[in-house]
Amino acid sequence: MAKRGGFPGGAMPGNMSNLMKQAQRMQRQMEEGQKELEAKEFTAAAGGGAVEVTVSGKKEVVSVKLAEEVVDPEDIEMLQDLIVAATNEALRQAEDASAELMGKMTGGLGGGFPF
């Protein structure tokens, strides 16, 4: 005769409690990691260092530095392109750091969930 009131899949209440504790610990670690990431700055240069852009871990532009020789009123388009290139690279660095943090936090869990 089958026992009534059991847990599906044979899970015990203690296992569920441990799972919840692990999830809470993981959430705290992710929050701490996110705060650390947001406090970091990422700097990239373009045009051989003529343009330097720094962004925060929040993906906000913090500063733009221009070498005097790159400020040419006759060639504003080149300066604009260099700023865009440096900004995009700094943002890529911030995104890579974020992805690395997520990889460390999830331990490579990936998308292998059955739901």
User: How does pLDDT run across 54-105, given as a tens digit for each residue?
Assistant: 999 999 999 999 999 999 999 999 999 999 999 999 999 999 999 998 888 7
Dihedral (C-alpha) 72, 75, 76, 77: value to the nearest 10 degrees? -150
CA atoms within 13 A on the CB side of 17: 3
Range among 9-18, 43-52, 102-111 rated most confident: 43-52
Radius of gyration of the chain measured on its C-alpha atoms: 24
Let me know: does 80 contact 66? Beta carbons within 8 Å. Answer: no
Q: What is the spatial distance between Cα 106 and Cα 91, in angstroms, rounded to a whole number?
A: 23
pTM of whole model > 0.75? no
Q: How confident is the model at residue 3 (pLDDT cuts 50, 70, 90)?
A: low
Q: Going by C-beta distance under 8 Å and a sequence separation of 6 or more, which residues neighbour residue 98?
A: 37, 57
pLDDT for position 5: 53
More confident residue, 33 or 12: 33
Let me know: does 102 contact 89? Beta carbons within 8 Å. Answer: no
